[in-house]
Structure 1
Amino acid sequence: MPLSEDQLCEIFADGVRDIPALRLWLLGRTKFAGQADQCRLLDGEQMAIRPRRRWWRHWWCYVPELSRESLTKIFMVFEVGTTGERFALHFENKRQGSKFSPGQAAAYAPRARHMSLKAEYLSYTNFQTLLLAPADFRRRRAADVDRFDVLLTYDEIARFLPAFGASESD
């Protein structure tokens, strides 16, 4: 049986937390690449703010710019050890054959902006939006994919987390 989107999200979030090579690769794909080796994932701090089984999962908020509630599927805040600067990575995950709901992709950047500088989101000052998806997802959903700063394909992630390789062809 194929893994669900939520199961893949959990595997990814746990991997970023537990596998230094994955974390460095991930950060190396972002505009924060130059600080990757100095960053600490604030998973414990996220859990302290919002105690749940999954520290990363489904961070909801009302976004005035969108006039509605909206969620970030995977939310990770990092702190740069040398400066104390905090930045967030906001992830969406789309499996083979799935699509975005109306306005879903467009909501990521406004939501990330709205959440920045707020204590309940660890007062981050910078962010990027990322999409986890199979390699051919861009071809099928280019306009939505291009709303994200970074696309991480399942086959790239599978180098660190083999479960994503099996999901590439689901």
Structure 2
Amino acid sequence: MHSLSLSPPPSRNGHQIWLTLTELGRYFGISAVHCGHHLSQAGLRDEDGLPFPKAIDQGYAYKRPEHNANRSVLWNYDRCSVILRDHGLHSVEEQRLVEQWADFLEALHVGSPAILVTPQEMADSDMPHHIRPWVNQCLAARGSQLRISRKNPQTSRDPVKESVEQERLQVSPLAAA
């Protein structure tokens, strides 16, 4: 029989975040039911929604000694968020960041005479690399034709070297002779 610990599991680095399904779901913009469904699919919950002993032993869940089953289970944010991300979910914070980048890149794409940077150049220099596929998905969902490709090695050149190179190319062979 599995023994039930009355205190939370020891924490790594002195800090772990333990949340109810409702609280965990809020980080990903989903309901407690939807969040629980993902954890059940990952084999952490039984048909009654309670954590399997292995989920408790491995630090995914903690069962407080309370009588109300739904409120007595807490889920480890760090461990469970990996599972939710593996299931294709993104935190609300990541979703906002992707939306902001999509808005910004579309505005650059429309252009302005005062702006001398392309959406690709801006993405290559400042956009977090890991969100690039999500930004492209967001742009596609909006019906935009804009897509950001993998990092362009030319945009990471040294601007001083590049201007010297351009000047050298502009010198005609006759003037150099």
**Of Structure 1 and Structure 2, which has the larger fraction of its residues in helix?**
2
Q: Which has the higher strand share?
A: 1
Q: Same fold (TM over 0.5)?
A: no
From the CA coordinates, give the structure whose radius of gyration is larger. Answer: 2
Higher relative contact order (CA 8 A, sep 6+): 1
Q: TM-score, normalised by structure 1?
A: 0.24
